[in-house]
Amino acid sequence: MSRKATSRKINRRKVLAGTVAGAAAALTRLAAPAIAQTEPFRLGLLTVKTGPLAQGGIQMEQGVLTYLKEKNYTIGGRKVDFISADTGGNPAGAKTKAQELVERDNVDVILGPLAAFELYAVNDYVKEQKMPTLSLAAADNLTQRLPNPYLLRASATSSQAMHPMGHYAATELKLKRVVTIVEDFAFGYEQMGGFQASFQKEGGCVVNKLWPPIVTPDYTPYVAQISDCDGVCQGFAGSNPLRFMKTYASAGLKYPVITGETGGDDALLKSFGDEAVGLVSGCPYTLDLESEGNKRFVDGMLKNHDAIPGSMRPACMSIARSSMRA
C-alpha cells in the first residue's frame, strides 16, 4: 500500500482569539458553586451511527469512550455521565438531537457533530443557548469568517488537508489536469475549494468537478465522466471511499488518485484491496506516531473496540480531553 501524509504548520491565534474567550466564559458555569462540583459532569455527543457517514461517527464515539474508560469515567473528581445521540447524518436530525441534549438531558458540553452541514445546522441554536460546543465537524466558516464564541474545534477545517495536497499534487506529483469528485455536501465543497486554490496557484487546472449525492448506490455513471486528465482527487468520507475506489478500479482507469484526510486514513486501509495501491492521502493523524500518548491510545482502541484509530477517533478524544480541562 502506498500513501504519503502531508502537513503544514497552522497558526490558529487569529482564528480562535474571540472564540476561545467566548467559550471560556461560557464554561465558567461548570466551575461555579462548590456544591455543583459533586454533581456528575454531563457530556453529550452528537455523532452518526447510521448511513454512509457511520464509519466516521462510530470512530468518534469509540475515541471518546476510550478516553473516558482510561479515566474511569471520572475527571477532576467529578463523575462523567456520557450521553450519545445519533443524528442520522443529516442537518434536521442534528438540530433535533442537539435540542434533546440541551433541553432534555441537560448536558454541560456538547461534543460533535461529525459533518460540516450538521454543524452549520446547529450553530445558531448552540449560540442562542450559550452551550459550549467542542466540534469535530470541519465547517470552515465557523472558525474563520463567521466565528461562534461558544464553539471550539480541536480537529481540522474541511479544506485544511486539501491545501497541502493541492500543492503536493502540482509540485511533487507533477499533475497538470485533475478531475475532482466528492459528495454533494458542505464538507465536499470546502475540501475541493481548498484543493483547487492551492493546485491552481501552482499552475494546475481542475478540468471537471463531479458531485454525487451522499447516498449514491452506484458510482459507475460518475466514473464514466472521468477523462481528459492526468489525475483524480476524491474527497469521500465514511464508507464511500471504499465503494468509489472499487468502482474506479473496476472501470480500468489508471489515473493516479489523491485524497484528503477522510478518503484514505488508517482506519480505512485495512478494508481496501489492490484498488487503493498508489493512493496518496493527506491526513493530520497516523497511528504510526511515535509518542507515549499515541501508543497508549492505539492500545486502548485495540483492547476496547478491536479497531485501529483513524483521523476521527484521536480528534474526538482530543475534544473530550479539552472539555474535561474546561
Q: What is the pTM of this model?
A: 0.64
* pLDDT, tens only, 174-197: 999 999 999 998 888 989 999 999
Q: Is the pLDDT of residue 24 over 50?
A: no
- Give the whole-number percent of the chain exceeding pLDDT 90: 45
Could you report the per-residue pLDDT of 144-179, keeping only the tens digit for each? 788 888 988 877 788 888 999 999 999 999 999 999
Higher-pLDDT residue of 115, 311: 115
Q: Higher confidence at residue 30 or residue 62? A: 62
Phi, psi at 233, each rounded to 5°: -110, 115
Residue 26 scores a pLDDT above 70: no
**What's the CATH architecture for 13-156+291-325?**
3-Layer(aba) Sandwich (3.40)
Q: State mean pLDDT over 255-259.
A: 96
**In the sheet that 109-111 helps form, which strands lie side by side, from edge to edge?**
74-75, 78-86, 41-47, 109-111, 133-135, 151-153
With contact defined as beta carbons under 8 Å apart, do 292 and 314 qualify? no
Q: Which of 86-90, 268-272, 286-290 has the lowest mean pLDDT?
A: 286-290
How many Cβ atoms from other residues are within 10 Å of residue 250's Cβ?
12
Say which residue, 95 or 57, is predicted with more confidence: 95
What architecture is the 162-281 domain classified under in CATH?
3-Layer(aba) Sandwich (3.40)
| Domain 13-156+291-325 matches domain 162-281 at the CATH topology level | yes
133 beta partners: 110, 151
d(CA 133, CA 151): 5
Closest CA to 157 of 183, 131, 205, 193: 193
Who has greater pLDDT, 299 or 250?
A: 250
Indicate the domain borders of the chain.
13-156+291-325, 162-281
User: Given a cut of 70, is residue 314 above it in pLDDT?
Assistant: no
